[in-house]
Amino acid sequence: QVPLRIAPSGIHPLVPEMRVAGRVLPSRHRGSVDVFLEAMKKALPGDVLVVDNDGRSDESCVGDLTVLEARAWGVAGLVLRGYHRDTNELVGLGIPVFSYGSYPAGPRRL
């Protein structure tokens, strides 16, 4: 028996009608898109990139360039345990993105 696993409360699609289903490519955000690129290299068409940013509310972990790269690798959608940026651009790309919401600042590590 496989337990049911669902997204944490508060995560919602950028566009209410968007849906996504597929094999999960898990990734933890550590301030660099390099971990996403590694996960995307393993992607099969229709896979879903699931990003854990520890639910941080002081930065966004994904923007339009990362989603554009994901689309090029055949990723069907992204689910973020965190925030996104570039909302208008993401909607225009047409790939389902689910997150806690929008935050304009990307990660900054000193």
Q: What is the pTM of this model?
A: 0.86
The domain tally of the chain equals 1
Q: What is the phi/psi pair of residue 92, to 5°?
A: -65, -25
pLDDT at 70 over 70: yes
pLDDT at 1 over 60: no
Question: Can you give the CATH number for the domain in which 65 is found?
Answer: 3.50.30.40
pLDDT at 91 over 70: yes
The DSSP H or E segment spanning 62 is strand 60-62
64 Cβ partners below 8 Å, 6+ apart? 85, 86, 89, 90, 93
* Domain presence at residue 15: no
Region 7-17: mean pLDDT is: 89
Q: What is the pLDDT of residues 98-110, one digit of tens each?
A: 999 998 876 665 4
By residue range, what is the domain housing residue 47?
21-99
